[in-house]
Amino acid sequence: MGVRPWTIGCVAAVLVAAAPLSASQARPSAGGPVSSFYELETTTLDGKPADLSQYRGLVSLVVNVASFCGYTPQYKGLEALHRELRGKGFNVLGFPSNDFGEQEPGSAQEIATFCRLTYDVTFPMFQKVVTHPGAAQSPIYAFLGRSGNLPAWNFSKYLIDRQGKVAAFFPSDVTPEDPQLRGAIQRSLSAR
């Protein structure tokens, strides 16, 4: 059995350290600079407007996801984490991205179908985004990039505290089961 080219790309990209990048500030509808992830607005995977303020007061794990990556099986762990902790003030938020190896080429419907049928994903999924800095970068990732970290590959994870601040960043190879990630989630859930 041969190694698939996209697997090599996934593994190679993890070896590249993410250099701090500055991103333009996203602006909330009131016109001022965004100071909280929960001030942002976006669109759900099914095309409906989504105000992220609905998650204020919760701890969120924001993940740039893709359907055809060597890390795609992390959907299973992300869903398990979401189901385990959602009643305790936690949720996973998925943002599909085709930025790395063109590993998320599908339409919103194709992504939703893949996630539902393959991994029984129930956590909120949003429109496909651009994570790279530049004119096309999503305001979500412009805000997250102000933490000094932008994804180097698919399945990078940002832990967002109850106030909407980035509490921690985890690269793609850190799985949902990783004790460091789980410890950071528990610390954020314990903080008030």
| CB half-sphere exposure, 108, CA atoms < 13 A | 12
Question: What's the Cα-to-Cα distance from 172 to each of 28, 50, 70, 169, rounded to whole Å?
Answer: 29, 26, 10, 10
Give the separation between CA 91 and CA 23, rounded to whole angstroms. 25
Give the separation between CA 97 and CA 113, rounded to whole angstroms. 16
**Amino acid at site 56:** R
Question: What's the Cα-to-Cα distance from 192 to each of 13, 89, 126, 161, rounded to whole Å?
Answer: 36, 11, 27, 9
- Sign, CA torsion 122/38/169/32: positive
Q: Which residues are catalytic?
A: 69
